[in-house]
Every structure is written in structure tokens, then in C-alpha cells.
């Protein structure tokens, strides 16, 4: 059996760009999510004109390479709204909560990416997270209880464990895909697969079946300082 470890952040633009690859991978093997806490603690950021200009530049590159849509409610709404703070910790806790109650952490991540990048919603706010849980068909009371349990020390411990995994595999940032087969970890460079989920799935299928094949090249990543091109 093989497992694909997916190191992500819910506010990482390149992770949103890689969402179709995650969906393709889930069709053929188990995918385990690891939130890396890109914008947590001192790295939380309030949206400013400078940050908005930086983000929009990289969003345009992500859209060009991956075909992922960025909605006007995000580009012309959320990024221009006052008081918006980009904080990865609450949505990461929400993903852990969805996984805990229903095994749907990755579904929660995908829905939160749409909520943020397409619908322009504030995914660091508990009320929005509870709404998204309801939209996924999760019991909102059970979700709220699990979210409380996964917040604070629990999510911080999860992020710390992810950082240890990143150090172990030499991850430069987010997203990072690591294929585990028989206890052996293989970090995958997905640059050549961005925008090509079928090709990524075909490559993974070959790896799982024992076929040989190289990686597709270095991918752009987001680190704690922002997203690269």
C-alpha cells in the first residue's frame, strides 16, 4: 500500500493551484493532509495595499499555469476589504475537525479554497468555517465541538509535526507531495504536472504499480514569507 502525504496551507495560492492534482490522486490512493501553518502566529498578515499587489501578481501566475479560477468576490472584494487578517490556524483546525468527525479533511480544504479564492469569504472566522462545514453536509454542532477541540494547542501540535516532516523530506515550502511506499518517503516535484491532473494521476499509478519514472521538475511554492513564481 502507498500513501501520498500532502503538505499544504489553506492560504497558499500554489496549493489552490495544485488542488486538481490532489483530487486526481485521491481517486487512486490514500492521501494524508499535513497543514504547515504558513500564516500563523507572528506570520499572520493583515491585507494591505502592498500585500494585495504582491498577492495579485502571484495569483495571475497561478491562474495562467493551472487554470484555477480567482473570483471577483476575492480579487475585487476580499483583497480590498478593511480588517481582513490572513490566518492559517483556524482553517487548518477546521480541516482537522472535518477529518476527525467524518474523514473529510481534504474535502474541507477544497471547499475552503473555493470559499477564499472564488467566493471571497473570510475563512479565518469561525462563523464562516461552520457555514462551510454545513455546505459540505457535516453536522454543524458536531463540527463546532470538534473545531474547539482541534484549535489552540492541538492545531499547533499538528503544525509542529508537519514542520518536522518537512525537515525530514527537505521540503522547501507548500505545496509538497511525498509518496510513501513500504515506509520509504519520496518527495515529488510537481512543477511539470501543474494544470495536468491526468498526467499526474498516470504517473502516480505507475509509481504505485512499481513502474519506474522520474519527477516532473521543481514546482513554484509558498513558504512562510509568501508565494514564489
Distance, in Å, from the CA atom of 51 to the CA atom of 142, rounded to the nearest integer, reads 36
Could you read off the pLDDT of 158-186 as tens digits, one per residue? 999 999 999 999 998 999 999 999 999 99
Q: Which residue is it, cell 497558499?
A: 12
Domain ranges of the chain: 2-227
Three-class SS string for 187-228?
Answer: EECCHHHCCCHHHHHHHHHHHHCCCCCCCCCCCCCEECCEEC
Which backbone phi and psi does 215 adopt, to 5 degrees? -80, 170
**Which of 125, 124, 132, 128 lies closest to 104 in space, CA to CA?**
132
Q: Which residue is it, cell 489552490?
A: 16
Whether 215 and 188 have beta carbons less than 8 Å apart is answered as yes
Could you read off the pLDDT of 15-69 as tens digits, one per residue? 999 999 999 999 999 999 999 999 999 999 999 999 999 999 999 999 999 999 9
Label the pairing between strands 176-181 and 184-188.
Answer: antiparallel
**Which of 104, 100, 103 lies closest to 132 in space, CA to CA?**
104
Residue 43 DSSP class: G
The whole-model pTM stands at 0.92
* Region 212-220 average pLDDT: 51
CATH 3.40.30.10 fits 2-227, yes or no: yes
Amino acid at each position: 500500500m502507498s500513501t501520498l502525504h500532502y503538505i499544504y496551507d489553506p492560504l497558499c495560492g500554489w496549493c489552490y493551484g495544485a488542488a486538481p492534482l490532489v483530487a486526481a490522486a485521491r481517486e487512486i490512493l490514500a492521501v494524508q493532509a499535513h497543514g504547515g501553518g504558513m500564516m500563523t502566529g507572528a506570520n499572520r498578515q493583515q491585507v494591505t495595499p502592498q500585500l494585495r499587489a504582491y498577492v495579485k501578481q502571484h495569483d495571475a501566475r497561478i491562474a495562467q499555469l493551472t487554470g484555477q479560477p480567482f473570483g471577483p468576490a476575492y480579487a475585487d472584494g476580499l483583497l480590498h476589504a478593511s480588517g481582513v487578517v490572513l490566518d492559517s490556524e483556524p482553517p487548518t483546525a477546521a480541516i482537522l475537525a472535518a477529518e476527525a468527525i467524518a474523514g473529510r479533511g481534504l474535502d474541507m480544504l477544497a471547499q475552503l479554497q473555493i470559499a477564499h479564492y472564488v467566493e471571497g469569504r473570510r475563512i479565518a472566522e469561525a462563523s464562516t468555517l461552520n457555514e462551510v462545514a454545513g455546505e459540505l453536509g457535516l453536522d454543524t454542532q458536531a463540527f463546532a465541538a470538534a473545531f474547539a477541540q482541534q484549535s489552540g494547542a492541538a492545531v499547533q501540535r499538528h503544525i509542529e509535526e508537519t514542520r518536522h516532516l518537512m525537515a525530514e523530506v527537505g521540503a522547501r515550502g507548500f505545496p509538497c507531495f511525498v509518496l510513501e511506499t513500504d515506509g520509504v518517503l519520496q518527495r515529488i516535484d510537481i512543477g511539470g504536472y501543474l494544470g495536468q491532473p491526468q498526467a499526474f494521476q498516470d504517473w502516480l499509478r505507475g509509481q504505485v504499480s512499481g513502474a519506474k519514472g522520474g519527477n516532473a521538475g521543481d514546482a513554484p511554492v509558498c513558504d512562510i514569507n509568501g508565494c514564489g513564481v
